[in-house]
Amino acid sequence: MILESQVKVDVLSALFAGTFGEFWDCQDDGCDCIYQRIGMWTNPYLAETLEVRMCCIWADLYKQYPQFVRVTPAYKDGNKREWVTEPTEWSGESDMPKSLWYRQLSRQQNRSVEDIRVEYAEKDELRPRGKPKREPMPLFVRVEGEWVAINLR
């Protein structure tokens, strides 16, 4: 369907005025799914973008087909090749996203994400903060026969 010129202008104005809201993000905390997954496909040849909250669709499918769903209360650490049953402490360089923090608390306290969100919405000072990056190791390159250390910052 090709849009008339004025309709195109109206649609774009609505987009930029925030009528449609922000594009969804897997850390936007826009739903209660534990694993937030957003699919986004955009096509310039169609002048169209499709966003799908895959997590919400999957959650409904899980309810319809519980015989095909298995949740293991542990994380398989591929590096150590062992199962870990406790949520890992935050080790990111930036602050832990609220959406992930709410879900971690939900798991730790065996409560719903919705309950956690309500209780911790005003307790941001408790959210895990980023850990400073370690000093970078220099990159050594050979320049005119000599090895020179370069810090990439």
pLDDT at 14: 67
How many separate domains does the chain show?
2
Q: Are residues 62 and 51 in the same domain?
A: yes
Q: Are residues 63 and 77 in the same domain?
A: no
Residue 64 confidence (pLDDT) above 90? yes
Would you state the structure tokens that stand for residue 23, as one six-digit string? 């594009």
Q: Chain-wide mean pLDDT for the chain?
A: 85
pLDDT at 95: 94
> What's the CA gap between 132 and 151, in Å, rounded?
17
Q: Residue 28: which domain range?
A: 1-70
Confirm whether 80 is domain-assigned. yes
Residue 124 confidence (pLDDT) above 80? yes
With cut-offs at 50, 70 and 90, classify the pLDDT of residue 139. Answer: confident
Residue 46 confidence (pLDDT) above 70? yes
pLDDT (average), residues 37-57: 88
Q: Are residues 57 and 98 in the same domain?
A: no
Q: Which of 30, 51, 70 is the last residue of a domain?
A: 70
pLDDT at 66: 95
Confirm whether 19 is domain-assigned. yes
Q: How far is CA 103 from the centre of its chain?
A: 12
